[in-house]
């Protein structure tokens, strides 16, 4: 069993080491922190497709679908924190 | 999906980046305001429902029911969580000084305010249910959804 555990740990390290994810990592937040951050000027971004956004989105959220993020990231303000969300955990 | 977006933005030099991981499902289930074309159960839910504690005298609960005009009386605890429901027939059959908790039904079905209202009303029609209790994900009371209110 220990061999299996070691394999998984090595595999995870291998994946993260092969990508340039920048110097920090995104923080997961809940509803209370979301309210605090948006109250402090954070920009709220729904990354679901436009149809999902049109159906329902959080107040003042903008829509940048994940598939378009590379091309449209420039629409976001780099001077402000960003909060992203989709439908649920996945 | 949002974790991937958050990581991509971090990699692109944005920061700080936060991921509201519970997402829109959590927000809508909490009965919070939203923008869009959706017609959700929460939009049609009657908020001013009769409520009582388990220790409330039956006579008082009946008075609340009469004053409200529709029911049942929803029995909530100190945190606002729905513990059961007391119906007129059960209340009327009990001594006035008895506690509501002794006549309430425990197995109350609930739905979230984020349910599609039309789909919920359709499902209720299939089961010949006229009203259903609406609660947040934590069980706290929002109100009662009447299928007939969809057509009002």
A12-39: average pLDDT: 68
Whether residue A87 is contained in a domain is answered as yes
**Which residue range(s) make up the domain with B70?**
38-151
Whether residue A74 is contained in a domain is answered as yes
**Which residue range(s) make up the domain with A73?**
30-90
Give dist(CA B4, CA A85) in Å, integer: 10
Q: Which of A85, A87, A90 to mutate to test the interface with B (most CBs of B within 10 A)?
A: A85
**Would the CB atoms of B10 and A21 count as touching at under 8 Å?**
yes
**What pLDDT is stored for residue B3 in this prediction?**
86
- Looking at the structure, tell me whether residues B113 and B147 fall in a common domain: yes
pLDDT tens-digit readout, A28-62: 999 999 999 999 999 999 999 999 999 999 999 99
What does DSSP say about strands B110-111 and B82-86: parallel, antiparallel, or unpaired? Answer: unpaired
pLDDT band at B29 (very low <50, low <70, confident <90, very high): very high
Which pTM does this prediction carry?
0.83
- Looking at the structure, tell me whether residues B75 and B6 fall in a common domain: no
**Would the CB atoms of A57 and B34 count as touching at under 8 Å?**
yes
For B40, phi then psi, to 5°, come to -100, 160
Q: Which residues of B touch A45 (CB under 8 A)?
A: 5
Q: How far is CA B23 from CA A67, B27, B136, B149, B150, in A?
A: 18, 6, 15, 29, 27
**What pLDDT is stored for residue A6 in this prediction?**
36
- Looking at the structure, tell me whether residues B70 and B114 fall in a common domain: yes
**What pLDDT is stored for residue A89 in this prediction?**
66
- Looking at the structure, tell me whether residues B83 and B142 fall in a common domain: yes
- Looking at the structure, tell me whether residues B19 and B70 fall in a common domain: no
In Å, how far is A1's CA from the nearest CA of chain B? 30
Whether residue A22 is contained in a domain is answered as no
Q: Which of B14, B19, B34 sits opposite A76 (nearest CB)?
A: B14
User: Do B40 and B116 touch, CB atoms closer than 8 A?
Assistant: yes
**What pLDDT is stored for residue B1 in this prediction?**
81
Give dist(CA B90, CA B97) in Å, integer: 13
In Å, how far is A6's CA from the nearest CA of chain B? 25
The count of domains in chain A is: 1
pLDDT higher for B81 or A20?
Answer: B81
Question: Chain-centre distance of CA A29, in angstroms?
Answer: 10
Element (H, E) at B141: strand B141-146
A75-87: average pLDDT: 93
**What pLDDT is stored for residue A90 in this prediction?**
57
Q: Which residues of A touch B37 (CB under 8 A)?
A: 54-56
Radius of gyration of chain A (CA): 17
The CATH number of whichever domain residue B139 belongs to comes to 3.10.580.10
Q: Which residues of A touch B11 (CB under 8 A)?
A: 19-22
Whole-complex ipTM: 0.85
Give dist(CA B143, CA B30) in Å, integer: 13
- Looking at the structure, tell me whether residues B26 and B43 fall in a common domain: no
Taking any CB pair shorter than 8 Å as contact, residues of chain A touching chain B are 19-22, 24-31, 33-34, 37, 42, 45-48, 53-59, 61, 66, 69-70, 73, 76, 78, 81-90
At residue B90, the 3 state secondary structure works out as: helix
> Which of A45, A72, A66 is CA-nearest to residue A57?
A45
User: Do B111 and B41 touch, CB atoms closer than 8 A?
Assistant: yes
B66-79: average pLDDT: 94
- Looking at the structure, tell me whether residues B52 and B68 fall in a common domain: yes
Give dist(CA A78, CA A30) in Å, integer: 22
Q: Which of A58, A65, A68, A81 to mutate to test the interface with B (most CBs of B within 10 A)?
A: A58
pLDDT band at A16 (very low <50, low <70, confident <90, very high): very low
B19-33: average pLDDT: 95
> Which of B114, B5, B32, B36 is CA-nearest to residue A83?
B5
Whether residue A13 is contained in a domain is answered as no
- Looking at the structure, tell me whether residues B14 and B46 fall in a common domain: no
Whether residue A62 is contained in a domain is answered as yes
B116-141: average pLDDT: 95
Residue B36, pLDDT above cutoff 70: yes
In Å, how far is B49's CA from the nearest CA of chain A? 27
């Amino acid at each position: 069993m220990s061999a299996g555990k070691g394999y998984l740990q090595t595999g995870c390290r291998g994946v993260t080491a092969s990508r340039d994810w920048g110097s920090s990592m995104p923080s997961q937040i809940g509803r209370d922190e979301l309210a605090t951050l948006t109250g402090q000027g954070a920009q709220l971004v729904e990354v679901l497709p436009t149809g999902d956004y049109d159906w329902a989105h959080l107040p003042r959220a903008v829509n940048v679908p994940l598939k378009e993020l590379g091309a449209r990231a420039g629409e976001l303000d780099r001077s402000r924190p960003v909060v992203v969300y989709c439908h649920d955990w996945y | 999906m949002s974790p991937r977006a958050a990581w991509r933005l971090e990699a692109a030099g944005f920061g700080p980046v936060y991921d509201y991981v519970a997402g829109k499902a959590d927000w809508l289930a909490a009965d919070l305001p939203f923008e869009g074309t959706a017609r959700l159960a929460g939009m049609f839910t009657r908020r001013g429902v009769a409520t009582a504690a388990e220790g409330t005298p039956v006579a008082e609960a009946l008075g609340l029911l009469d004053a409200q005009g529709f029911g049942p009386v929803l029995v909530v605890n100190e945190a606002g969580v729905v513990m059961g429901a007391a119906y007129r027939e059960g209340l009327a059959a009990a001594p006035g000084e008895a506690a509501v908790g002794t006549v309430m039904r425990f197995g109350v079905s609930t739905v979230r305010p984020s349910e599609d209202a039309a789909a919920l009303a359709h499902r209720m029609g299939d089961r010949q249910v006229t009203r259903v209790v609406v609660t947040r994900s934590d069980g706290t009371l929002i109100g009662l959804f009447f299928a007939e209110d969809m057509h009002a």
